[in-house]
Amino acid sequence: MSFNPLKVRLGLTASAVALSLALAPAIAQQAEPAPENLQEQQVTPTQAQPSETPETTTVPGEAMTGEVPQAPDATTSQGEQVAATAGVMPQTFADIVEQVSPAVVNITTTAIVSRPVNQFPGFPQGSPFSDLFRDFGIPGPGGPGSPFEGGPQMQQRSNALGSGFVVSSEGLIVTNNHVIEGADEIEIEFYSGARLPATLVGTDPTTDIAVLKVEAENPLPFVSFGDSDEARVGDWVLALGNPLGQGFSATTGIVSAKSRALTGTYDDFIQTDAAINRGNSGGPLFNLQGEVIGVNTAILSPSGGSIGIGFSMASNVVSGVVDQLQEYGETRRGWLGVKIQDVSPDIAESLGLASEAGAMVTDVPPGPAADAGIQAGDVIAAFAGGEVEDTRDLVRRVAAAPVGEAVDVTVMRDGEPVTLQITLGRRELADADGTGQRPEGSGTQESSSQVLGMTLAPMTPELAARMQMPEGTSGLVVQDIDATSDASAKGLRTGDLIVEAGQQPVASVADLNARITEAREAGRQSVLVLIRREGEPRFVALSIEE
């Protein structure tokens, strides 16, 4: 098991900012998947020397009994005992900590890893030599690119630490997926010092959530999920966990922001300034009612330590994942089968929409939406009776809907609402078989015309073959763009293929000019065009003001 800071360049000249999974390494470090939606990223592995599993400590002032804690009432959450005083700024957080701490656990994982036999001793993590190797991208002794790479290997036991919390008296425990990923053995330590082996119930790498199970003779103390949507920026929160393997620790702060997205499709993070460090991964973020409103997952830091920017996955996301993992051992998310983008103000104006709310459909591959009649250019305004705010909102609503359920979807088409009934598929199955992927290429063509600051050429069979596009592909290929044009400002570039304008197909420059004329006659300030770039569709509203 391991930990790696995920370095994300944010325009700093002297240093990079690290988005770090809050997992404390005891021996080895392992790279996390690079994010898809951050502009530039570099995953930099670091390693520490083998050592014994670290000893941990318990709540200050509490004696370590070594006994597994027992719930006074198998049906009552620990947090319910502090809810009566919620809403009042406490003089101390000690009462909340005392009530919920029996349900917070330390997690130790063990994995068998292979290392080169003839390697130099590794540098301690955080030492000048370790930092030198990392900062300059030089392979460490025995690592990739070293003289010993590919030589004889020896197996060693690797330990890593994280946090978690009990959510049922039967012993279900929630943590982060990256805490236990690749582990051969998982051990749970309670604040009393008692230890129990844990088995894996299920994981969801998409939200970085895992569910474990321990077997205890008596009902275990547990905590309950609160409603993360009810949390407000400025609310007090309490983070509990096992930072840097030091044992049970509590920190406080406030909700700094909500609905943060970092790397994932279903991200809904609560940002907090409560100190979160490596080893806090998987630990709970409590409100003053003693309810879990987040699972501590990552920090933003130039050093890997807390600077007051921590992220906890919202409980309203986590609770649904936990329920599915408990019931099925896997997630089963709804799938609509569309590609979407947000509605910008200029797109809303070009379509005559009253606001930018909703999610615009850019492509409809084979699937539930296509079967129901959804079309590219539709703006999804409502899903299952709820208004859609934007693409993130739609993605979460669809994912939370039961697979196989028929739902009403309202779209805006030609300025009018159209309601369709769609039977949802399953996201995991669609991802597995690659449904809806249509590879396309890009290219250029010599014969051209100037329109809206773009040099355009009609698609021909020869050009389609050169661009590796399906036979019969039509549209206008962008050959060149005036750097001062609105098209350039909106991000169009050479090689883009314009396939629609004004929500109608275009096969020639005359078609495009006709759509522009129609938009002007309708009093529009822009015309909506659909482009394809490397197989991905995107709507752009281009200014047609003369």
Q: What secondary structure letter does DSSP report for 68?
A: P
Q: Which two tokens stand for residue 358?
A: 């909703």
99 in Cβ contact with 78 (< 8 Å): yes
Set 101, 169, 228, 281: catalytic member: 281
Set 20, 168, 178, 224: catalytic member: 178
Active-site annotation holds for 281: yes
Active-site annotation holds for 319: no
Query: ∠ CA 210-67-64 to the nearest 5 degrees?
Result: 100
471 in Cβ contact with 461 (< 8 Å): yes
| Start-to-end Cα distance in the chain | 61
In terms of Cβ atoms closer than 10 Å to its own Cβ (0-12, 13-18, 19+), residue 437 is exposed
d(CA 173, CA 102): 12
d(CA 287, CA 240): 12
The conformational region for residue 427 under phi > 0 = left, psi -120 to 50 = alpha, else beta, is alpha
1 in Cβ contact with 25 (< 8 Å): yes
In terms of Cβ atoms closer than 10 Å to its own Cβ (0-12, 13-18, 19+), residue 56 is buried
Which residues have CB under 8 Å from 22's CB, separation 6+? 241, 243, 276, 277, 278, 279, 280, 281, 296, 297, 298, 299, 310
Q: Which two tokens stand for residue 493?
A: 């570039």
**Cβ atoms within 10 Å, residue 95:** 14
Residue 447 CA from chain centroid, whole number:
44
- Where are the strands (E) in 167-226, listed by range? 172-176, 185-190, 195-197, 199-204, 209-213
d(CA 182, CA 162): 14
- Where are the strands (E) in 406-525, listed by range? 406-413, 416-423, 425-426, 449-451, 454-458, 476-481, 497-501, 504-505
Long-range contacts of 260-263 (CB under 8 A, 24+ apart): 260/311, 261/37, 261/392, 262/19, 262/35, 262/38, 262/298, 262/311, 263/19, 263/33, 263/35, 263/36, 263/37, 263/38
**Cβ atoms within 10 Å, residue 300:** 20
- For residue 316, give the nearest of 229, 391, 238 by alpha carbon: 229
Active-site annotation holds for 474: no
d(CA 97, CA 238): 8
| Torsion angles phi and psi, residue 24, rounded to 5 | -85, 125
Which residues have CB under 8 Å from 390's CB, separation 6+? 342, 343, 357, 358, 359
- Sequence length of the chain is 546
167 in Cβ contact with 219 (< 8 Å): no
- Residue numbers annotated as active site: 178, 208, 281
